[in-house]
Structure 1
Amino acid sequence: MTLRIRISWPAGHTTATIDETPTSKALVGALPIVSTARTWGEEVYFDTLVSAALESDARQVVEPGTVAFWTEGDALALPYGPTPISRGDECRLASPCNLLGALDGDPRILATVRDGDPIRVELVSG
């Protein structure tokens, strides 16, 4: 079963397709989430108030547009380019994160998110 979520902020929005994992089930159960966006290099992350254990397929280096869950910060992490600890053009997260799915469109839209923006995550119905 896959689900779609909508992520919106003052300058735009995107949708993502989420796979069924223990973390995504916990996240979906907490929706809608309203949080404050933080930026770290070319990554947007924000608190979810959801806690999850690290899953066996957790990774630190991911593709742009990956929807990841940072277990150490109870946060969604949405990388779209290099972070301060990346080597070259890779998307390197702060630490290994659970993989939840991927953004549906061009992940570069996340460049319009500003640190401190209100951000909302909700389930896309239908």
Structure 2
Amino acid sequence: MQIRISWPAGHLIASLENTPTAQALGKALPLVSTAHTWGEEVYFDTGVSVSRETDARQVVEPGTVAFWTDGDALALPYGPTPISRGDECRLASPCNVLGSVDGDAAVLATVRDGDPIRVELIDA
């Protein structure tokens, strides 16, 4: 499944694996939310509530599409967060890994706190 995430200064495409969380998110799309930034991470509320999966991780690669179950939010890290050790992408708590950004996740640096953000399915 592919999704498009758009904000005033840009957009990206991400590919999601077939996980229970990705399926729940897909059913909620399209959605519009408000972006928040935390170090080099963008996150936003989805209105989707799911349980933490057994393979949830706190440290992920840049460009990972993660679901923060504690906040019902998508988390899109592209570099270090305030709790990272070195250059790692350390999320606030373990998150369900849904997939990854296609291309360079550094485009997320153009997202500003408070930006409207839209997530939609891309037809296969």
Matched, 1:106 2:69: no
How many residues matched?
124
C-alpha distance in structure 2 between counterparts of 1:82 and 1:4, whole Å: 25
C-alpha distance in structure 2 between counterparts of 1:33 and 1:88, whole Å: 34
Give deviations 1:60-114, integer Å, cap 9, x for gaps: 0000000000000000000000000000000000000000000001000000000
Q: Secondary structure at the match of 2:39?
A: coil
TM-score, with structure 2 as normaliser: 0.99
| 1:1-126 to 2 correspondences below 5 Å | 3-126=1-124
- For structure 2, the 5+ residue unaligned runs are none
Q: Secondary structure at the match of 1:68?
A: strand
Q: Which residue type is aligned with residue 61 of structure 1?
A: V
Provide the alpha-carbon RMSD of the alignment. Answer: 0.3
C-alpha distance in structure 2 between counterparts of 1:16 and 1:105, whole Å: 9
TM-score, with structure 1 as normaliser: 0.98
Structure 1 residue 42, shift from structure 2 partner: 0.1
C-alpha distance in structure 1 between counterparts of 2:6 and 2:78, whole Å: 16
Give deviations 1:31-62, integer Å, cap 9, x for gaps: 00100000000000000000010001100000
Runs of 4+ in 1 over 6 A off after TM superposition: none
Structure 1 residue 20, shift from structure 2 partner: 0.6
Q: Which residue type is aligned with residue 105 of structure 1?
A: G
